[in-house]
Structure 1
């Protein structure tokens, strides 16, 4: 493995792990706030127990996200010094503001965890809500920085120099809204279905059914609403990419040759050498419609761009297909949940219903990882689109492969520890919170 591939691989692994922790950190505090609100309104002790259980999980994942995020910050400077040398002064504002939001989140979570019976109940609830708001703000600010890499703005590039820098314009670049909207909704989808799936599993195990049903309802409701509105943000993103990064759109669809109208491709095996897709299902005119709002406009094929400027087609296309197919599957599950909630309530008592959510537990995060692969790989070979190539930004320091192996081992170990801690926390739920349940039997051990 050469140093360039090792550097890219290290960033991919680091981002792949961190994005899961950060999404949970953005979304779970809102689930916690909903449960806490229900406790304050109803006095139901089960909701209090649920709030405390989720808050402990949030604390674990907050610490993990802080560690992985700090590692990423160092990696940007260590692996891509040429990028940070020029980009730092331009898109540093959202990173600095993200640091402020992180500190607010850290203070708020401390207030919430240790504020039981010490603050006014509604002020205490507000501190929990603030954890979610500040976490969400952190995510949006980081996404603004990433969007700048896809749509650089806020400076003039003259004779290789970055001049007339405007950090505000850089932060509010053309891509930030569509990218932030799509990502935030995806975070609710992924985290919601993951949490709902875990509680559905506990329901099937017939452990603390009342507790887990309340938790399942909160998570599943949020996830299903997000899954049904996600196509709207997807359409906004597709139209935005078609204008700013047409070669990325072509790679997403493995669209090799310009067509009018352009067909939307489902599935297929990409043959980059011969510039075609075999065994694909083509829907005539749909790509033109998604890109431009009508079925007649031509969509540029990847062969219309210089070879040195083309992103990898196969991995971008397959990742896009995975994201789309899993998104559709979760939308179908959302429709089933809505029917079960409002029309066919007997489904809520069936094992198959909860088994569907158990199966869906990882699907949102797989789709989310695939979407980020599309975003990052689809921008290649540029680290700053049309300004700086990724190969020109990498560190000249040798031995990056060893760093890649080390950081990968750290992230795997970190993930194993987090899974163990969360599993232990779930096992402790009946001891901590369900002692008032008529069916509760304390652990005599």
Structure 2
């Protein structure tokens, strides 16, 4: 494994690991705030127990996310020194603000965890809301930095020099809104389905049914609502990518030939040698409509882009198909859930619906990982789109492959530890929050 592949692999591993904790850190505090609000308004001890149980999960994910996020910041300098040398002064502002949001989140979380029966009850609830707001802001600021890599702005690039730097314009680049919106909704959908799936499993096992039913309802409403509106943000993102990164869109759809009334490809196996897609379902004109709002519009294919500037087609296409497939599955389950919620309430206690949520537990995070694969692989061979190639930014330091192996071992160990801690936390719910002590008024 050469340095370039090792560096990219280590960055992919780190991002893939960290994004899960980022999503949960952005979203779980809002679940926690809702249950806490119900406790304060109703006095129902079930909601207090839910809030305390979720707050411990938030603390676990916050600690792990802080570690993995810190590693990522070091890796940017270690693995991509040329990138940081030029890009750091331009898009450093969102990273600085993200650090501020992180510290606010840490302080607020400390207040919340140790504030039970010590603060005014509404101030205590407000600290939990601050945890969510600052976590959400932190995630959006990081996405703004990534969006800048896809849509460079806030500087002039002449004769290899970066001049007239404007950090505000860099942060609010053309891609930041669509990426931030899409990522935020994805985080709510992924976390909502994951949490709902865990509680659905506990209900099926008849463990603390009331506790887990109330928890399931909060998580499912958040997750299903996000899943239903996600296609709208996906449409915004697709039109944005079509305008700014036609190579990425072409790779996502394995669209080899520039054409009008371009078909939308569903599934299929790209054949890059013969410039075609085998075994795909084609919807005539739909790619033109999704990209430009016109069924007859022309969509640029890979044939209009020099081969040296084309992203890997197969990986980008498969990741995009996986993301869309997982999103559609969650959307269909969301429609079913809300129909049951409003019209067929007896379905909510039926095992088949709960089993569907258990099966859907990982779908959101699978979609998130696939989406980030599309974003990063689809931008290649550029680390700063159209300005700096990824190969130009990699460190000349030897031995990066060994660093990749070491970090792989560290992340696998962390994953095992986190899973163990969460499993123990879920098991503890059965003893700490016994339904026989729950006041259901």
TM over 0.5: yes
C-alpha contact 2:82 2:392 (8 A) present in aligned 1? yes
Q: SS of the residue aligned with 1:268?
A: strand
Report matched runs for 1:369-384 at 5 Å. 369-384=369-384
Unaligned runs of at least 5 residues, structure 2: none
Show the counterpart of 2:414. 414
* Aligned mates of 1:63, 1:409 — CA distance in 2: 19
Unaligned runs of at least 5 residues, structure 1: 440-445
Show the counterpart of 2:145. 145
Show the counterpart of 2:106. 106
C-alpha contact 1:190 1:364 (8 A) present in aligned 2? yes
Q: TM-score, normalised by structure 1?
A: 0.98
Show the counterpart of 2:296. 296
Q: TM-score, normalised by structure 2?
A: 0.99
* Aligned mates of 1:434, 1:163 — CA distance in 2: 63
C-alpha contact 2:30 2:132 (8 A) present in aligned 1? yes
* Aligned mates of 1:177, 1:22 — CA distance in 2: 18
Q: SS of the residue aligned with 2:157?
A: strand
What is the CA RMSD across the aligned residues, in angstroms? 0.9
Q: Is 1:280 aligned to 2:292, yes or no? A: no
Show the counterpart of 1:164. 164
Distance 1:438 1:287, change over 3 A: closer
Show the counterpart of 2:365. 365
* Aligned mates of 2:57, 2:305 — CA distance in 1: 48
Please, which moves more after superposition, 430-439 or 41-50?
430-439
Q: SS of the residue aligned with 1:270?
A: strand
Q: SS of the residue aligned with 1:265?
A: strand
* Aligned mates of 1:59, 1:133 — CA distance in 2: 16
Show the counterpart of 1:443. none
Runs of 4 or more, structure 1, over 3 Å off, are 435-439
Show the counterpart of 2:337. 337
* Aligned mates of 1:289, 1:438 — CA distance in 2: 54
Show the counterpart of 1:310. 310
For this pair of structures, how many residues does the alignment match? Answer: 439
Show the counterpart of 2:50. 50
C-alpha contact 1:46 1:434 (8 A) present in aligned 2? no
Q: Is 1:7 aligned to 2:7, yes or no? A: yes
Query: CA deviation digits over 1:247-266, x for unaligned, max 9?
Result: 10000000000111100000
* Aligned mates of 2:438, 2:116 — CA distance in 1: 25
Show the counterpart of 1:34. 34
Report matched runs for 1:75-86 at 5 Å. 75-86=75-86
Query: CA deviation digits over 1:91-111, x for unaligned, max 9?
Result: 000000000000000000000
Report matched runs for 1:205-284 at 5 Å. 205-284=205-284
Q: Is 1:123 aligned to 2:123, yes or no? A: yes
C-alpha contact 1:151 1:175 (8 A) present in aligned 2? yes
User: How far off is 1:70 after superposition?
Assistant: 0.3
* Aligned mates of 1:438, 1:141 — CA distance in 2: 41
